[in-house]
Structure 1
Amino acid sequence: MAFDAGLVDWATEALEQMGTVSFRKMMGGATLYFDGTIFAIASGDALWFKADAQSNALWDEAGCERFSMTFSDGRVDTMNYRRAPADVYDDLDAMREWAALGIAAGLRAPKKKPKKG
């Protein structure tokens, strides 16, 4: 499924006062980075913010479902990214508030070691 480029542009514009947002196309969607830290993915017409054990209760309270994908063999996999609440798409303050949770989760995530090669 493709991602909505206008949505990525909106996120980039909404967060520009906080830092630099960049993205990389990945598996039909886009991975969003804030100052180099993964904080969200864009898939279809939705944003999914990174979550973790520390923020899961807030996402659950807001009713934000967990990202899942179904593979061609029928397997379903979930990732700890949460669907952005509806107000994120038209409210600058809401975008910044919810994105900040994703950024914080990204900063808390263990850093991947560079591959030796």
Structure 2
Amino acid sequence: MPVTASYRAFVMERLQLALADVRARDMFGGVGIYSGTTFFAIIGNDVLYFKVDDHTRASYESRGMRAFRPFGEGGEVMQYYEVPADVIEDTDALRDWASGAVTVGRRAKQRKAKRGG
């Protein structure tokens, strides 16, 4: 799941224009992206993925975006979907999509806290 320095820099530059308090952290060969303390995105193989749930997944699927599969096509499907290239290029659209992913991340964090984990 390697990430080139140039793609990482490009994505972070775009996200920092769209959201406040965005930071990246290396993880398992990829990059995890946070807004504050909320984990909401992953970069893997030079593809940006946003966290989704039942409320937001359809927006990605309707655009033909694919789920993040860290172990290849036969592996586990994670709740992150590719972000369309035109969304990454458009600051207003990116702000909307990224804000939605942050909201999903916060909901997931709240559910986890309620379960005690």
Q: TM-score band, normalised by the shorter chain?
A: 0.7 to 0.9
Point out where structure 2 has 5 or more consecutive residues left out of the alignment: none
Q: Which residues of 2 match residues 83-94 of structure 1 at below 5 A?
A: 83-94=82-93
Q: Which residues of 2 match residues 40-59 of structure 1 at below 5 A?
A: 40-59=41-60
Whose strand fraction is larger, Structure 1's or Structure 2's? 1
8 Å contact from structure 1 (residues 4, 42) kept in 2: no
Q: Which residues of 2 match residues 14-53 of structure 1 at below 5 A?
A: 14-16=14-16, 18-53=19-54
Match of 1:80 in 2: 79
Partner amino acid for 2:11?
A: A
Whose helix fraction is larger, Structure 1's or Structure 2's? 2
d(CA) in 2 for partners of 1:41, 1:94 = 18
d(CA) in 1 for partners of 2:52, 2:106 = 11
State the Cα distance separating 1:75 from its structure 2 match. Answer: 5.6
Residues 44, 14 of structure 1: CA spacing in aligned structure 2 closer, same or farther, 3 A cutoff?
same
Residues 99, 7 of structure 1: CA spacing in aligned structure 2 closer, same or farther, 3 A cutoff?
farther
Match of 1:6 in 2: 6
d(CA) in 1 for partners of 2:88, 2:58 = 22
CA offset digits 1:45-69 (Å, max 9, x no partner): 1100000111112222222111112
Q: CA RMSD in A?
A: 2.2
- Report the structure number with the largest CA radius of gyration: 1
Point out where structure 1 has 5 or more consecutive residues left out of the alignment: none
8 Å contact from structure 2 (residues 2, 30) kept in 1: yes
Total equivalences in the alignment:
111
d(CA) in 1 for partners of 2:9, 2:54 = 29
8 Å contact from structure 2 (residues 14, 89) kept in 1: no
Q: TM-score under structure 2 normalisation?
A: 0.79
Secondary structure, aligned partner of 1:77: coil
CA offset digits 1:49-98 (Å, max 9, x no partner): 00011111222222211111227xx9611101000112134222232222
8 Å contact from structure 1 (residues 33, 39) kept in 2: yes
